[in-house]
Amino acid sequence: MLLILAVSFLAAQDTAALKSMLIGRWEVVKYHEQGLGVDKKQNPTPQAQQVYTQIAKTRAKTYFFYDSDEEPGNRIRRAYERWVERDSTIETNRIIQAISTPYFAVFFPDSTLSAYNKDVVTGFISFPEAHHYTFYPRTMSIHIFTEDGFRVQWHAQVLSLTPQRMLLFLAEEGEVVELLKTAFSMP
- Whole-prediction pTM value? 0.79
Residues 147, 77 within the same domain: no
- For residue 116, give the CATH number of its domain: 2.40.128.280
pLDDT tens for residues 137-170? Answer: 988 999 998 877 678 788 999 999 999 999 999 9
| 106 & 171 share domain | yes
Looking at the structure, do residues 89 and 10 belong to the same domain, yes or no? no
Do residues 36 and 76 both lie within one domain? no
Residue 23: which domain range?
Answer: 2-40+102-182
Q: Are residues 23 and 91 in the same domain?
A: no
Q: What are the backbone dihedrals phi and psi of residue 100, each rounded to the nearest 5 degrees, phi first?
A: -80, -15
Q: How many domains does the chain have?
A: 2
The residue type at 59: R
Confidence of residue 107 (pLDDT cuts 50, 70, 90): very high
| Statement to judge: residues 30 and 58 lie in one domain | no
187 within domain boundaries: no
Q: Same structural domain for residues 84 and 136?
A: no
Asked if 83 and 173 sit in the same domain, the reply is: no
Residues 77 and 115 in one domain: no
Mean pLDDT of the chain: 84
